[in-house]
Structure 1
Amino acid sequence: MTLRAIPSTMDPTVVATIDDELRRIEREHRVDIRLAIESGSRAWGFPSPDSDYDCRFVYVAHLDDYLTPWPVRDVIETPLVGLLDVNGWDLAKALRLLVAGNAVLIEWLMSPIVYRGDTEFRDELRELAAAVADRNRVAMHYLHLGRRQWKLFDANPSLKKVFYSLRPAMALRWLNEHPDAAVAPMHLPTLLEQCELPADFVDAVRELTDLKSRTREMGTGTVPSPIAHFIDAEFERAPAAFTRDGDRDLTRPRALTAEFFRRQALR
């Protein structure tokens, strides 16, 4: 079964251009794109009228490209054209980063906007991510990302940028409230729905999201205090809440990911 989930709010002309670009990439690079999703603010749940289209994909290369002492590049990048940004990772690269604690592949797997994909591939890869992802390392990924964006906001207090700190902070809160999980939703409204949060904070986020959806340039200003307090509190709490217990034994995660990779490469 094939995946396709495109909101009616997205420009059909741009979507058609992305579809054409994905077909071109498969043809010219001799790869099989197994999943292509939207990864930017549209998928995160807080788009602006002028938001970019950030298509990301996972592909499997031709078998000859894996059976060589001179491996090919494991990233496919295309030039930025207007609002369009299309890039992808080889499955092997994506799996290595997943085991290392990088949350990017997890986010792609959880995107609510899908240009194309194989249902079985995504479902099995989601199960694999849940089995091998280290929640402490994933949390540290969000902490470092969020702190970096929060510092950038201090230097340039664009209200548009608040969301780039808020979403990692919400991911940390979600992981804290779901202690048995390592795969958090990427969609901000879903994160809000699945956590116990103060009403004034939720109201402030919804008001700022609504403003962003209607305004190309939100300008600079002071962050609503419930949001600022929430971000500061989550970033302060995270180092103690998510700790690494020495060197992680990667034997099982590597074995599971290798098995999944071989199965997909030989399809």
Structure 2
Amino acid sequence: MRAVPDTFDPHVVSLIDARLAQIEVDHGVRVLWAIESGSRAWGFASPDSDYDCRFLYVRPREAYLDLWPGRDVIETPLEGLLDVNGWDLAKAVRLAVAGNATVAEWLRSPWIYRGEQEFRDALLELVGDVADRARLRRHYLHVGRDQWSLAGDGDGVRLKKVFYAVRPALTLTWLDAHTGVPPMDVDSLLDQVELTQDVRAEIDELRALKAVTRELGTASVPPHLAAWVAEVLGAVEDEIDAAPSEVRTRANEGFLSLLGRWAPA
């Protein structure tokens, strides 16, 4: 699979392609899913936004039997607007069970540098099966609250942080109305949630402003949007218990199935 918009810088895309290929050679892994994350995929990029490539990979099966396993992340140097990092499949599954929503978001990114659709579909089904909605809600509540508190107030609010709070608020609204794995991007979320006309109009207004404002640009937050975000992020957190053993069993079985199908020889 590949889905890269014309708005992406072709030179940067070629650098990402080359870096992913080199990662496979240097680390002896297979990159199965590589996407754009961050503001470009979320739908509110600034003119100087980074390219945040994130990927999922698998090692040879024998590597998972090592008594002293290596790191379960691969990080590459930051160069200009280029930011390329990835997670091992095992880490991705463990985090999904723990309620981390990042894996599901990567699997639902609208922009794909390279990827195996069968792998994506199988892992997305597994994530949907083992992810606990209360944990997902807590994840988005914490992300939204943290970013909202960092945004500031008055006329000097950081637009980047505002949108980093708006997207979790939209996702929480989506979770209240739908089952399954929520979309990653703002456009899909807006299409699938109910908002007042005032809030939707103010989101559109700020998106248009951010599209022509540098990454650290500031502005005031429109009143209806501010009140809506505060209300959504003010929700009471759900009580969370440890993941049941049957969930961990299903996660382990799903991981082994994916490993058997996709691990490099």
Q: TM-score, normalised by structure 2?
A: 0.93
2:20 alignment partner, one of 19, 22, 35: 22
1:148 aligns with 2:143: no
2:49–2:215 Cα contact (<8 Å) kept: no
Structure-1 separation of matches of 2:148 and 2:24: 38
Structure-2 separation of matches of 1:160 and 1:87: 21
Q: CA deviation at 1:216?
A: 2.2
Sequence identity percentage: 53
The gaps in structure 2 that reach 5 residues or longer are: none
2:135–2:240 Cα contact (<8 Å) kept: no
1:44 alignment partner, one of 42, 45, 53: 42
1:135 alignment partner, one of 133, 136, 140: 133
SS at match of 1:4: coil
- Look up the match of 1:252: 246
Residue type at the aligned position of 2:249: A
Q: CA deviation at 1:235?
A: 0.8
Q: Residues 87-98 of structure 1 correspond to what in structure 2 (within 5 A)?
A: 87-98=85-96
Q: CA deviation at 1:266?
A: 2.6
- Look up the match of 1:170: 170
- Look up the match of 1:193: 191
Q: TM-score, normalised by structure 1?
A: 0.93
Residue type at the aligned position of 1:265: L
Q: CA deviation at 1:233?
A: 0.5
Q: How many residues are treated as equivalent by the alignment?
A: 259
- Look up the match of 2:113: 115
Residue type at the aligned position of 2:257: R
1:211–1:218 Cα contact (<8 Å) kept: no
2:44–2:211 Cα contact (<8 Å) kept: yes
In structure 2, relative to structure 1, the CA distance for the partners of 1:160 and 1:67 (3 Å cut) is: closer
Q: Residues 227-242 of structure 1 correspond to what in structure 2 (within 5 A)?
A: 227-239=225-237
Structure-1 separation of matches of 2:63 and 2:233: 42
1:10 aligns with 2:5: no
1:206 aligns with 2:204: yes
Structure-1 separation of matches of 2:215 and 2:33: 32
Structure-2 separation of matches of 1:191 and 1:202: 11
Structure-2 separation of matches of 1:210 and 1:47: 10
SS at match of 1:237: coil
Q: Deviations over 1:103-155 (max 9, x none)?
A: 11011011001111100000111111111110110110010011111111127
Structure-2 separation of matches of 1:217 and 1:147: 20
Structure-2 separation of matches of 1:237 and 1:67: 43
Q: Deviations over 1:37-84 (max 9, x none)?
A: 111101001111111000000000122311211111111000100000
In structure 2, relative to structure 1, the CA distance for the partners of 1:139 and 1:16 (3 Å cut) is: same
1:200–1:226 Cα contact (<8 Å) kept: yes
